[in-house]
Amino acid sequence: YHWDFVTEEYQGQVQYEYAAEFARRMAEKSDGRVDITVYEFGGLGDEVDQVEQLQLGFTEFGIVSPGFTGTMVEEAQLFALHFLFPDDVALTQEILDSSEALNVHLREKYEEHNMTPLAYFTEGPMQWTSNGLPLTTPDDFDGFKMRIQQSPLISQSYEVYGADPTPMSWGELYTSLDQGVVDGQENPIFFIEDAGFHEVQDYMTISNHNNYVAMTVVNTDFYNGLPEDIQGMIDETVAELRDWVFDLQDQMNSDLLTAMEESEEHPTEIYNLTEDERQAFRDLAMPVRDFFRENYGDDAGRILDLLEEEIEAARN
């Protein structure tokens, strides 16, 4: 078997390393019968192109960020909701692993588009970066040109703060920040440092307003057509990589935070939001859940209701 695995990141970054490890383990388990080529970001177009290729079966596997399927699988935009998952990242990962809302119902929504999410994993809590001032109150977002992924609900989530959201591929983000096409962006710490956004941004605000969730996706027709033993090997490898990728992102987020704190060449001021400051954002973010329910259909509402119940149960 010769398969392709496309990712939205470069070598050394979480998604690529996940795919490379997946390929290694599959080759080993299958005694070399399975040979997977892993692609870095950009090799096969931008993030949205990659989703299309995966749907069409030109590539068999991909790591996909739900933000890039925002107009296709509207229900999956629930990942854009701020302050939905617990602040505890390990607990968030447990919910991502066990949630019926995500692993059964949202999975079915993706399968209508010929994509099967086999796993959801966090790449870490997201933080804001900016020029001019740290983002400490919703007022700081007034007219702020915020780069976002192509999802109407991510856009709505920043409009309620007063920002002016601009969707773009991350491939254009460094230059856009540098040239002032946009004023800031959100990402996990490892990615901010590794992509060099801190070189062109003065501030990083530790907001932990959301988790960056990525999905391990397989083309549905392809997956369903595989012999059972090979399918089993895939499922087993996906299961093994849950803890593996959790530890990887945890390590990278912590190492690259230290690197940013200690960098003399690119001093970035790091501002920690207080709980009161976070509350001001949470107050504005909560009604976005109603917006989601009102705009994306009954099934979307039911999936969010169930997920909220699961989160509530996990917190207790």
Q: Which is nearer to ligand 6CS, 125 or 188 (CB)?
A: 188
Instruction: Work out whether 47 is an interface residue with ligand 6CS (CB under 6 A).
Output: yes
CB proximity list for 225: less than 8 A, separation 6 or greater: none
Tell me the C-alpha distance between 231 and 275, whole Å: 45
Selected range binding ligand 6CS among 88-96, 184-192, 200-208, 227-235, rule: CB under 6 A: 184-192
CB of 44 to ligand 6CS, least distance (A): 13
Nearest residue (CB) to ligand 6CS, 8 versus 140: 8
Percentage helix, strand, coil, to 5, in the chain?
Answer: 55, 20, 25
Nearest residue to 170 via CA among 7, 54, 49, 9: 9
Q: 21 and 150 in contact (C-beta within 8 Å)?
A: no
| Closer residue to ligand 6CS in complex, CB, 65/220 | 65
**Shortest distance (Å) from residue 137 CB to ligand 6CS:** 24
DSSP string, 77-143: GGGG-TT-S-S-HHHHHHHHHH-HIIIIIIHHHHHTTTEEEEEEEEEEEEEEEESSS---SGGGGTT
Among 3, 5, 8, 204, contact with ligand 6CS (rule: CB under 6 A): 8
Question: Which CB, 20 or 306, lies closer to ligand 6CS?
Answer: 20
Sites for ligand 6CS among residues 95-134 (CB under 6 A): 123
Beta strands 164-167; 145-148: pairing state: parallel
> Using the rule CB under 6 A, is 17 a contact of ligand 6CS?
no
- Residue 170 interacts with ligand 6CS (CB under 6 A): yes or no: yes
What span, in angstroms and rounded, lies between the C-alpha atoms of 10 and 247? 18
Q: How many residues bind ligand 6CS (CB under 6 A)?
A: 11
Instruction: Kindly state whether residue 9 participates in binding ligand 6CS, applying the rule CB under 6 A.
Output: yes
CA 112 – CA 115 distance, rounded (Å): 7
Q: Is 65 in the site for ligand 6CS (CB under 6 A)?
A: yes
Q: Does 18 bind ligand 6CS (CB under 6 A)?
A: no
Residue 263 DSSP label:
-
Site residues (vs ligand 6CS, CB under 6 A): 8-9, 47, 65, 123, 149, 170, 187-188, 191, 212
